[in-house]
Each structure stands twice: as structure tokens, then as C-alpha cells.
């Protein structure tokens, strides 16, 4: 067995979401369990777990859960270049800066959700989302972030039409209408002037009724 794979149980879970795993080997110290693993696997106190320990920014910690109460955990795949960029997800936790950390249903990666979406859709911890995500260039802690939210807790999100689009549509439809109105009025005025001119200079050629009758009878 690898030195990084251990058997033990969840000794306790803090109210802030993180916990500790106590190894069956009494000579090995307890290992820190980050909140995301507690949330994803719905861990509880005294759950028997097989887990992998690795080095993180904050030191040694549990990085993967292999089994819970003798039931193997189905490992999720990491996001690749060919992976679809749309997935169901859930809010794992909110950061102090107002952003959110999201766990994807289809992948093991955690991604960042900008606070603008949190505020716009009034999202909170535990909410279920359907999101589209994209790469983060030179990301310090995350490689992917949410680029669009499609639904929140099963309800489809309907965004308002951006003001730029509304202005563009008004510009497209109303300006030509004004031009056409001016053109019509100009043509109307011209036809009126033309009619007056013809009335003044030319007499209408309307046949006299009596003359027409005489011609028919002849």
C-alpha cells in the first residue's frame, strides 16, 4: 500500500465546513479534510474512509476520498480540452470577497464563480446551477470560471435584453421610418404643387354630355 493511501475515519467536522481524518495507525497524525471534500461526499462524523493524503498550499491534507463506509467512490474525471463546457453544478462555499467556489457534477475540478453572478441571481451556498464555464488565463488558484448561468435550482434564468441591443434595434427600425415619412411628405407636397400647376395651365378635356349623346345617336 502506498504511503499516501490511508484508512481511518472522520474524527470531527467543524461548523465552518472542514474536518479531520483520524488514521487507523495511531502513529500517524490526523489529516485535514478541506470543506469541498466534506461537501462533495456529504461526510459525517465517524464515517469510515479510505483516503489519499498529499501536499497542499496549507500543508499536508486529504486530497481524495476513495471509499466511504466500505463503498467505493466513483472518481470523476478532470476537465480536458475536449470536455464539454456546460455542466450541472452546486455552490460549495462563498469566499470573503463575494465570489463562489463551484463543484461540477461531471468533473472533479472546482471552478470559480464571479460575484457578479452571485449578486445578479441571489445565489447562496448549496444552490444547484447549470453553468457554462471557460478557461482562466494564468489563473492562480483556478483554471476555469463560470461564463454563463443557465438555471438556478431548476428554474431557467431569463436575462433582460441588454440596453445596447435595445438601442441598436431602435436605431435600425425607427430612423428609416422617419426618413420614409419625410420622403412621403415631400412627394405629397410635390404632387400637390404639380396638381395646382396643371389646373392653372391646362383645361380638363371632359366631353360634353349633350355632344356625346348626339354623336351616339348619329
How sure is the predictor about 1, in pLDDT bands with cuts at 50, 70 and 90?
Answer: very low
Prediction pTM value: 0.49
**Common-topology check for domains 5-72 and 86-156:** yes
Give, in words, the CATH class of 86-156: mainly beta
At residue 46's C-alpha, the angle toward residues 43 and 49, to 5°, is: 65
- pLDDT for res 3: 56
* Confidence band for 2, pLDDT divided at 50, 70 and 90: very low
Nearest Cα to 75, choosing from 38, 30, 40, 26? Answer: 40
Confirm if 97 and 113 have CB atoms less than 8 A apart.
no
Contacts of 84 (CB under 8 A, 6+ apart): 106
What DSSP character marks residue 77?
Answer: B
Of residues 116 and 138, more confidently modeled: 116
Q: Note the pLDDT tens digit of each residue in 26-61.
A: 999 999 999 888 987 889 999 999 999 998 877 889
Q: What is the pLDDT of residue 158?
A: 80
pLDDT band at 132; cut points 50, 70, 90: very high
When pLDDT is cut at 50, 70 and 90, the band that residue 130 belongs to is very high
Q: Give the architecture (CATH level 2) of 5-72.
A: Beta Barrel (2.40)
The residue among 118 and 178 whose pLDDT is bigger is 118
Of the candidate ranges 69-83, 118-132, 165-179, 199-213, the one whose mean pLDDT is the lowest: 199-213
Q: In this predicted structure, what is the pLDDT of residue 131?
A: 96
* Least confident stretch, 7-21, 93-107, 182-196: 182-196
Say yes or no to pLDDT of 196 above 90: no
Per-residue confidence band for 118, with pLDDT thresholds at 50, 70 and 90: very high
Q: What is the mean pLDDT of the chain?
A: 81
Q: What's the pLDDT at 176? A: 55
Domain ranges of the chain: 5-72, 86-156, 163-202
Can you give the C-alpha Rg of the chain in angstroms? 38
Amino acid at each position: 500500500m502506498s504511503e499516501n493511501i490511508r484508512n481511518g475515519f472522520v474524527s470531527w467536522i467543524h461548523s465552518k465546513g472542514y474536518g479531520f481524518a483520524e488514521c487507523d495507525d495511531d502513529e500517524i497524525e490526523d489529516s485535514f479534510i478541506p470543506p469541498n471534500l466534506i461537501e462533495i461526499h456529504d461526510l459525517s462524523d465517524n464515517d469510515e474512509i479510505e483516503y489519499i493524503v498529499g501536499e497542499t498550499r496549507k500543508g499536508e491534507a486529504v486530497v481524495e476520498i476513495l471509499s466511504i463506509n466500505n463503498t467505493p467512490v466513483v472518481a470523476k474525471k478532470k476537465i480536458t480540452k475536449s470536455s464539454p463546457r456546460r455542466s450541472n453544478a452546486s455552490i460549495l462555499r462563498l469566499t470573503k470577497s463575494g465570489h463562489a467556489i463551484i463543484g461540477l457534477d461531471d468533473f472533479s475540478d472546482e471552478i470559480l464563480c464571479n460575484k457578479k453572478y452571485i449578486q445578479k441571481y441571489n445565489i447562496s451556498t448549496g444552490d444547484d446551477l447549470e453553468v457554462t464555464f471557460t478557461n482562466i488565463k494564468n489563473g492562480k488558484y483556478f483554471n476555469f470560471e463560470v461564463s454563463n448561468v443557465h438555471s438556478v435550482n431548476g428554474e431557467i434564468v431569463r436575462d433582460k435584453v441588454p440596453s445596447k441591443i435595445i438601442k441598436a434595434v431602435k436605431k435600425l427600425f425607427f430612423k428609416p421610418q422617419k426618413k420614409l415619412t419625410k420622403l412621403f411628405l415631400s412627394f405629397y407636397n410635390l404632387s400637390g404643387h404639380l396638381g395646382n400647376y396643371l389646373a392653372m395651365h391646362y383645361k380638363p378635356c371632359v366631353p360634353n354630355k349633350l355632344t356625346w349623346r348626339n354623336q351616339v345617336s348619329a
